[in-house]
């Protein structure tokens, strides 16, 4: 039985094909993220204008969207909602979404694994609570919207649909 041996040129072509496919995938994902971001930004901007929140244009800046969401649900967060949600969002980004976050956290800070997992779970619970409160402010049966938000593109479309409704509180 003979083993199949590839020439260096075939290996190079295979490698380039994989790289091109990965690049295509990243470009597609970026385009999808950009579309979702624009839909959410338009919805949050309209919601902020309707709620007379200062600087509604901040909804077009990805991290600043946390502040807008916090201001929209500030009544349920006992004031200063913009700063509270912005801090939760920034900590979540640093803690969960940076590349190789697990490696960075353990090498730089040396957080024990149980504490790391507890903080991660707590941040996700807080983000789910924030999303629930945002839906609650604009829609009946907010828990259904919160659960359905796990479906890709549901949240941007739902927020866009809810953008012109009056705040319920």
DSSP assignment letter at 55: -
Task: Let me know if 8 is exposed, middle or buried by CB neighbors in 10 A (0-12, 13-18, 19+).
Answer: exposed
The pLDDT assigned to 77 comes to 75
Q: Is 146 a member of any domain?
A: yes
Q: Is 167 a member of any domain?
A: no
Percent of residues in the chain assigned helix, strand, coil, to nearest 5:
75, 0, 25
Cα(40)–Cα(157) distance, integer angstroms: 8
Tell me the two tokens of residue 45.
């901007």
The pLDDT assigned to 93 comes to 78
Q: Is 86 a member of any domain?
A: yes
Q: Is the pLDDT at 150 greater than 70, yes or no?
A: yes
Confidence category of residue 74, pLDDT binned at 50, 70, 90? confident
Q: Is the pLDDT at 141 greater than 70, yes or no?
A: yes
Confidence category of residue 79, pLDDT binned at 50, 70, 90? confident
Q: Is 100 a member of any domain?
A: yes
Among 83, 45, 41, smallest CA distance to 62 is for 41
Q: Is the pLDDT at 110 greater than 70, yes or no?
A: no
Cut 0.85: pTM above it: no
Q: Is 168 a member of any domain?
A: no
Among 133, 61, 64, 125, smallest CA distance to 96 is for 125
Q: Is 169 a member of any domain?
A: no
Q: Is the pLDDT at 106 greater than 90, yes or no?
A: no
53: left (phi over 0), alpha (psi -120 to 50) or beta: beta
- Domain count for the chain: 1
Look up the domain containing 37 and give its range.
Answer: 8-162
Q: Is 2 a member of any domain?
A: no
**Which residue matches tokens 């659960």?**
147
Cα(28)–Cα(30) distance, integer angstroms: 5
């Amino acid at each position: 039985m003979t083993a199949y041996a590839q020439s260096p040129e075939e290996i190079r072509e295979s490698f380039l094909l994989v790289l091109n496919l990965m690049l295509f995938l990243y470009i597609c994902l970026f385009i999808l993220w950009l579309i979702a971001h624009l839909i959410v930004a338009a919805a949050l901007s309209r919601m902020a204008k309707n709620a007379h929140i200062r600087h509604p244009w901040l909804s077009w800046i990805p991290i600043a969207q946390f502040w807008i969401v916090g201001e929209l649900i500030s009544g349920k967060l006992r004031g200063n909602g913009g700063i509270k949600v912005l801090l939760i969002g920034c900590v979540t980004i640093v803690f969960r979404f940076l590349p190789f976050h697990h490696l960075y956290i353990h090498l730089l800070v040396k957080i024990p694994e149980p504490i790391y997992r507890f903080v991660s779970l707590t941040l996700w619970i807080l983000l789910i609570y924030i999303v629930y409160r945002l839906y609650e402010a604009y829609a009946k049966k907010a828990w259904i919207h919160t659960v359905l938000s796990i479906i890709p593109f549901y949240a941007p479309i739902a927020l866009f649909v809810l953008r012109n409704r009056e705040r319920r509180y």
